Amino acid sequence: MSTVLPAHDQRSAPATVAARPSVWLYYVLFFISGFPALIYQIVWQRALFTLFGVNVQSVTVVVTVFMLGLGLGSVAGGTLSARRNIRLLRAFGMIELSIGAFGVFSLAIFHRVAAFTAGSSLLVTGLVAFGLLLIPTLLMGSTLPLLCEHFVRRTGNVGESVGLLYGVNTLGSGLACLLAALFLMRALGESGSVHLAVSLNVLVGLTAVVLQFLPTCPVKAPVQVTPAVQETIPFWAGFVLAGAAGFVALAYEILWYRLYSFATGGTAASFAELLAFYLFGVAYGSSAVRNACRTGLGNDVRRTMAAGAEVVLVGAIAAYLVGPMLGLSVAHLSHFPVVFVFVAATLLGSAFPLLAHAAIDPAGKVGHRLSLIYLSNILGSTVGSFVVGFWILDRLSTRATSVLLLASGVLIALVFVRFAGVRMRKLVFVAECAVALTLILLSNQLFSGMYERLLFKTEYKPGMRFSEVVENRSGVISVFRDTHEFGYPTNIVFGGGAYDGRFNIDLMHDSNGLARTVAIAGMHPNPRHVLMIGLSSGSWAQLIANEPMVEDITIVEINPGYLPLIRRHPEVASLLDNPKVHIVIDDGRRWLVAHPDRRFDLLVMNTTFNWRANISNLLSLEFLRLARAHLAPGGILYYNTTWAREVIATGLAEYPYALRYGSFLAVSDRPFMLDKNRWQAALVAWRVDGHPMFDLNDPAQKAKMEALLAQADHVDAPQSVVQSRAGLLNAVKGVPLITDDNMGTEWIRR
């Protein structure tokens, strides 16, 4: 189990001089280097999602490739650090400068390369993403082993060096996430944020290169010393445990993001905010490990593994409780109670530096061995996010997945105990295992009503329950049966914690804004071929598919979870059997890129709120140009602005003809209008499942139809539902346009 260094084995070690104040500058540099790394990750992943799609397959591929590149980079850095004559600080500085050089051209490279491959198969997407990200992620992943080799030569303590460096770098990354959520992405956009990251890379790189040549630079003149005798656990054990700990930590992060995103309605900043406090926890845990390795743990490998068992087990328990505690407290706290994530991340994040301390001999090739431990941790994290996010959550609920991960945490902690021996506080550990088992047995009670609390918050009342919940790898869809809002029962659909429509096709009880749907018949004289991006409840699709002139409708929906819900609701169930209807599960923008030859008379998008994550992919100038290429002559793009002036201004800037109907904007390259006579003829002929849209023998229904038609006579009137392009131009004068780069209103805090 152990490796004992012989007393006569003498190796190069740092000069035995007092630590100089300048050493803190190195910590500051590594702290700053963590800042651009996370900015790049946020921006580059976002840019690739725009090009390859935000469906779960594309997202999983991009994130996996990013993590894999970091892991391979750690091996490269470890190999480099093992070279005898390597100037570690200079190498670190040159790596930072190289990252900055790539960053300057990164977005242009991504767009140029991906423009030829967007819409390709998942395999091609993965290979292209790997090629685009390989060089920068290799460089980023190589820095930790390099600097750890540098500092272990000074301290002779692996845990102290890894804990401090990993902690300060992670702290810088966490700060980058928080500032991105609060300010950077909104103020600077993608390109501006990348330029800031490049500037920081250059600052860090040049400073490190200069420091290497200063006469006061540490480890300039090594001397021969006798290293202390130290035991280590078998390296293979540290390697395997680092991967297992990474698996559990990142798998829990996937769950936390699902819950946090649901609680916030899927805002763009939700991931950055959650990741910031996750990283703050990891940074604090690493700092605590550094202090423990300097004092209490020393070089006692058994005590180190006992501490590892404690943090993994208690961390798994804390991570398991994040969901239930969030559900119980979200109604009383104005923001996500990040303390739960912070505590769990602090504990789970401590495992990596503890394992490095226990498995790596400080007198050996520290950088090389650390790179392998780091690689294992990253691979475990990658597998955890992939297996849980892509596979397990498509089969198990959040509750069942949480139980599985808690049980995994207990098993990993037991392996730590195997190497802790007599140093383990067995009674305390048994008590902690009993707590974990109790929590597993009480999982039904702990998770009951969690999603309802997350959605309704202060409006939640005991006993409120969703009538239906669909959880899959694409997200969470819930249905709430409300009998009070409109005075009659209505089934409200929520997608990812945000309102997503109702199961309703009755214009007499129009709780679903259905008037906006049927207005298309007055705008286009012959909408034979229709493309619809977004399905949700299927209510809009049901009406459009039964419009008298429509011959076929292609529906692109990113989440397949809506299909079983539609099948269970009689108002829309026949949609799935309609021979006119062709449903495709894909990202809407990705599908358009992959089908450049398809043309449509009408392209309808009743998509989500303008402030939700990634929605500007369907609202930007770049997307509007893409959609324009898919319109047949006289074709109309008709989409939900959710009343955002930026969305309206962008549509008017790209298309010469426009008309607003309620919250929807219709745009085209050719003149069109809301033709009252054509609209009336369509409404009279319109039937769904054999039932007329309006029964003209019923005075109330006839009056409802006439009130709808009268809207065409009051274009641009005060408080009118219908507004012309001229009237809209006055309302949005000076409003900024939405682009892929500035991401519109996504990062504006609500």
Reported as a single tens digit per residue, the pLDDT across 161-191 is: 777 888 888 899 999 999 998 899 999 999 9
pLDDT digits (tens, 9 = 90+) for 537-590: 999 999 999 999 999 999 999 999 999 999 999 999 999 999 999 999 999 999
User: Domain residues for 564?
Assistant: 512-731
The reported pLDDT for the residue numbered 155 is 67
Are 21 and 108 within one domain? yes
Are 533 and 404 within one domain? no
Which domain-ending residue is among 405, 425, 447?
447
Compute the mean pLDDT over every residue in the chain, rounded to the nearest whole number. 87
Are 273 and 128 within one domain? yes
Task: Name the helix (H) or strand (E) containing 529.
Answer: strand 529-533
Residues 6+ apart with CB under 8 A from 592: 119, 598, 626, 627, 630
**Is the predicted pLDDT of residue 262 greater than 80, yes or no?**
yes
Please report, for the domain that includes residue 703, its CATH number: 3.40.50.150
The reported pLDDT for the residue numbered 12 is 37
**Is the predicted pLDDT of residue 111 greater than 50, yes or no?**
yes
Domain assignment present for 639: yes
Closest residue by Cα to residue 558 from 531, 517, 589, 512: 589
**Is the predicted pLDDT of residue 23 greater than 90, yes or no?**
no
Mean pLDDT of 273-281: 90
Domain assignment present for 490: no
Which domain-ending residue is among 400, 429, 447?
447
Domain assignment present for 496: no
Closest residue by Cα to residue 260 from 172, 342, 378: 342
- When divided into structural domains, the chain yields a total of 2
The reported pLDDT for the residue numbered 329 is 83
Confidence label for 153 from pLDDT (cuts 50, 70 and 90): low
State how far the Cα of 201 lies from the Cα of 100, in Å rounded to an integer: 5
Domain assignment present for 608: yes
Q: How far is CA 150 from CA 155, 158, 366, 589, 740, in A?
A: 9, 11, 9, 47, 42
The reported pLDDT for the residue numbered 304 is 87
State how far the Cα of 559 lies from the Cα of 475, in Å rounded to an integer: 8
Are 433 and 566 within one domain? no
Are 414 and 549 within one domain? no
Domain assignment present for 205: yes
Please report, for the domain that includes residue 439, its CATH number: 1.20.1250.20
Are 409 and 306 within one domain? yes
Are 177 and 311 within one domain? yes
Please tell me the least confidently modeled range out of 149-158, 171-180, 248-257, 522-531.
Answer: 149-158
Task: Name the helix (H) or strand (E) containing 493.
Answer: strand 490-495
**Is the predicted pLDDT of residue 247 greater than 90, yes or no?**
yes
State how far the Cα of 432 lies from the Cα of 320, in Å rounded to an integer: 13
Domain assignment present for 507: no
Are 186 and 265 within one domain? yes
Are 371 and 244 within one domain? yes
Are 438 and 300 within one domain? yes
Please tell me the least confidently modeled range out of 280-289, 318-327, 384-393, 486-495.
Answer: 486-495
The reported pLDDT for the residue numbered 230 is 62
The reported pLDDT for the residue numbered 218 is 46
Which domain-ending residue is among 447, 462, 490?
447
Q: DSSP 3-state assignment of 263?
A: helix
Are 443 and 543 within one domain? no
Domain assignment present for 690: yes
Confidence label for 268 from pLDDT (cuts 50, 70 and 90): confident
Q: DSSP 3-state assignment of 219?
A: coil
Are 384 and 533 within one domain? no
Domain assignment present for 462: no
